[in-house]
Amino acid sequence: MTEARDPGLQPERTRLAWRRTTLTCTVVAVLAAKQAIHDDITAAGVAGAALSALVWVAFLAVAHRRIQSLDAARPRPLSHRGALLAAVCTIALAGFAVAVVV
């Protein structure tokens, strides 16, 4: 007989952390787009903003999948692939945002 696990508040804290991180990525992507069209529109600025939006969408997909997996009675740990994809998205978003500013 499998005993039901009392997840406590840990899955909720993890879910909230993913939502905060998603909000942060959204702000970075919006600011990159705003900066790209602020004064003059350049090809590098538009490319940086477009890549930021693309990475933002990829991060949203990873975060959504992880948040959904936390609804289970026994949530699985984040896979290595998911962790790597989230890290790559975060680093790429920061890089593209810096490219837009410069």
In tens digits, the chain (102 residues) has pLDDT values of 555 655 677 888 888 999 999 998 898 888 877 877 776 777 877 787 788 888 889 999 999 998 888 887 777 888 899 899 989 988 988 887 777 776
Catalogue the long-range contacts made by 47-55 (C-beta closer than 8 Å, 24 or more residues apart): 48/96, 48/97, 48/99, 48/100, 49/96, 49/100, 51/92, 51/96, 52/28, 52/93, 52/96, 52/97, 52/100, 53/29, 55/29, 55/89, 55/92, 55/93, 55/96
CA-angle at 76, arms to 72 and 54, nearest 5°:
95
> Can you give the pTM of this predicted structure?
0.77
